[in-house]
Amino acid sequence: MLNESRLNIYVRGSDLSRRQRERIQAQVHTGLRSLPTWVFDLLRERIDALDIANLPLIIEPQTAGSTHRVLSLGRIEDRPAVKLTPRLLAEGLDWGQDLTRLLAKAVAYVMAPDERDTDFWQRWKEAADSDRLREKGEALASEYRDETDLSLFIEMFAAYALSPEHHRWPELPRVHSFLDRWREYAG
């Protein structure tokens, strides 16, 4: 995992108690510890290449009745940043999906090369097209039709990071092979 100096978790919300902030921090740290170490090897390398001090992760709990995206990807000072907006409930936080998966997506976004790395994105597009990733995803949920290559990469990276030997990977041999090669790069 990243050491504390390379991991910046900003918890926003002036109405949060100290105890709530500590719980959020603890949940995120636990989720990050669930990711495999090779993910952090790749992340450290990307953080160094971007010349940034740490993984920028903003957490801003929302009220229970709000409608929002739980994961927002963007940029701060032209560097990738991730914002998680779980729902704040009386019994705790509702992350909207598995927190470890959300964190794997966040890390994937920060690690993803920018659009200037045309070789990386061309190879990714070829793998995704060869395996008909977009069409297979669309069969599960119609929003896959309009997903960007980056969004598809983030989803597949998160799935791979959490289950690289899942029984469904043979249905996506080129995507799996692409991710295997990227993982080996960390080794």
Higher pLDDT, 111 or 14: 111
For 79, the enclosing helix (H) or strand (E) is strand 79-84
- Specify burial of residue 149 (Cβ count, 10 A radius: 0-12, 13-18, 19+): middle
Q: Using one digit for the tens of pLDDT, what is the confidence trace for 92-107? A: 888 988 999 999 999 9
Binned at pLDDT 50, 70 and 90, residue 5 comes out as very low
pTM: 0.89
* Residues above pLDDT 90, as percent of the chain: 42
* Residue written as token pair 């953080």: 47
Q: Which two tokens stand for residue 29?
A: 């740290």
* Residue 136: partners with Cβ closer than 8 Å, 6 or more residues away: 171, 172
pLDDT band at 40 (very low <50, low <70, confident <90, very high): confident
- Residue with the bigger pLDDT between 3 and 55: it is 55
Supply the pLDDT for residue 66: 67
Q: What is the pLDDT of residue 144?
A: 66
DSSP 143: G
Q: How far apart are CA 106 and CA 100, in angstroms?
A: 10
Are the C-beta atoms of residues 128 and 152 closer than 8 Å to each other?
yes
Q: How far is CA 87 from CA 48, 82, 104, in A?
A: 33, 16, 19
CA atoms within 13 A on the CB side of 21: 11
Q: Which residues contact 72 (CB under 8 A, 6 or more apart)?
A: 82, 83, 84, 85
User: What's the residue count for the chain?
Assistant: 187
Q: What mean pLDDT, rounded, does the chain reach?
A: 86
Which of 30, 11, 31 is CA-nearest to residue 21?
11
What's the pLDDT tens digit per position in 66-93? 666 889 999 888 888 899 999 888 888 8
Q: How far apart are CA 143 and CA 18, in angstroms?
A: 38
Q: Is the pLDDT of residue 160 over 90?
A: yes
